[in-house]
Amino acid sequence: ETGVTQSPTHLIKTRGQQVTLRCSSQSGHNTVSWYQQALGQGPQFIFQYYREEENGRGNFPPRFSGLQFPNYSSELNVNALELDDSALYLCASSSTGQGETQYFGPGTRLLVL
């Protein structure tokens, strides 16, 4: 196991609602990246947090936002949910001392109805 945990494991929401997903990084890791993986697709980079600051963002609208806390855990918030937001949301932690090797949590499977 990677030591990266995510909660909840599954979630069902309706269009227009808001959701918060949580991630605890591996001990000693100061960087968290979030990905969206739709069925049959590779993971798409949403953003990365390094020492509590956003450190890069993919092509996702502003209604996708995040936070990183002093203990390096992180949240992903999505406002005004759309049907296309249904996906597996993956959190990956890494340490700047280890290059780009990322270790993934089990993911949160979100279904928007």
| Member of 43, 72, 85, 93 binding other proteins (CB under 8 A) | 43
Q: Is 100 in the site for other proteins (CB under 8 A)?
A: yes
Q: How far is the CB of 82 from other proteins (least distance, A)?
A: 22
Task: DSSP letter for 27, please.
Answer: T
Question: Which residue, 5 or 20, has its beta carbon nearer to other proteins?
Answer: 5
| Member of 58, 65, 69, 73 binding other proteins (CB under 8 A) | 58
- Residue 28, token pair as written in the block: 């000693």
Task: DSSP letter for 42, please.
Answer: -
| Member of 33, 68, 74, 93 binding other proteins (CB under 8 A) | 33
Question: Which residue, 16 or 56, has its beta carbon nearer to other proteins?
Answer: 56
Q: Is 62 in the site for other proteins (CB under 8 A)?
A: no
| Amino acid, res. 50 | Y
Task: DSSP letter for 26, please.
Answer: P
| Amino acid, res. 100 | E
Q: Return the closest-CA partner of residue 77 out of 4, 17, 32, 24.
A: 17
